[in-house]
């Protein structure tokens, strides 16, 4: 039975990119966390003043997630996709 692993290809690509720019993953993680912390702090301060806009918080957190995506989110999504594909292959291989 063939085992599908989408995350392995991404790991090789990300390793090559990270190797070309030392510390890239750490920089992106710190930057993404800083953006998220700033967004939450700004929202809390605005809410205390009576004007906090949840849409603004959502956009800032989405930007933060996009910054962190290469190191965390993409591997998780690819592992989940691999699991689903392997499950479907397993279902149809017994037929």
Query: Mean pLDDT in each 10-residue stretch from start to end of the chain (95 residues)?
Result: 83 88 86 91 87 82 86 87 92 78
Whether 5 is covered by a domain: the verdict is no
What local confidence, expressed as pLDDT, does residue 95 receive? 66
pTM of the model: 0.62
Number of folded domains in the chain? 1
Structure-block tokens of residue 42: 């700004």
Structure-block tokens of residue 43: 């929202």
Count of other CB atoms within 10 angstroms of residue 24: 15
What local confidence, expressed as pLDDT, does residue 79 receive? 93
Whether 36 and 64 have beta carbons less than 8 Å apart is answered as: yes
Q: What is the DSSP letter of 53?
A: -
Whether 65 is covered by a domain: the verdict is yes
- Where are the alpha helices (H) located in 21-72, listed in sequence order? 24-48, 54-68
Whether 94 is covered by a domain: the verdict is no
Whether 6 is covered by a domain: the verdict is no
Whether 56 and 43 have beta carbons less than 8 Å apart is answered as: yes
Q: What is the DSSP letter of 21?
A: S
> Which pLDDT tens digit goes with each residue over 53-80?
778 888 888 988 888 888 778 888 999 9
- For CA atoms 26, 28, 34, 37, give the dihedral sign: negative
């Amino acid at each position: 039975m063939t085992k599908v692993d989408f995350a392995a290809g991404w790991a090789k690509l990300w390793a090559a990119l990270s190797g070309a720019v030392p510390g890239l993953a750490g920089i992106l993680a710190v930057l993404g966390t800083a953006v998220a912390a700033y967004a939450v702090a700004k929202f809390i301060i605005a809410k205390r003043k009576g004007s906090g806009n949840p849409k603004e918080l959502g956009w800032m957190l989405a930007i933060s997630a996009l910054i962190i995506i290469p190191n965390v989110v993409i591997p998780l999504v690819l592992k989940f996709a691999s699991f689903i594909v392997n499950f479907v292959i397993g279902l149809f291989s017994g037929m």
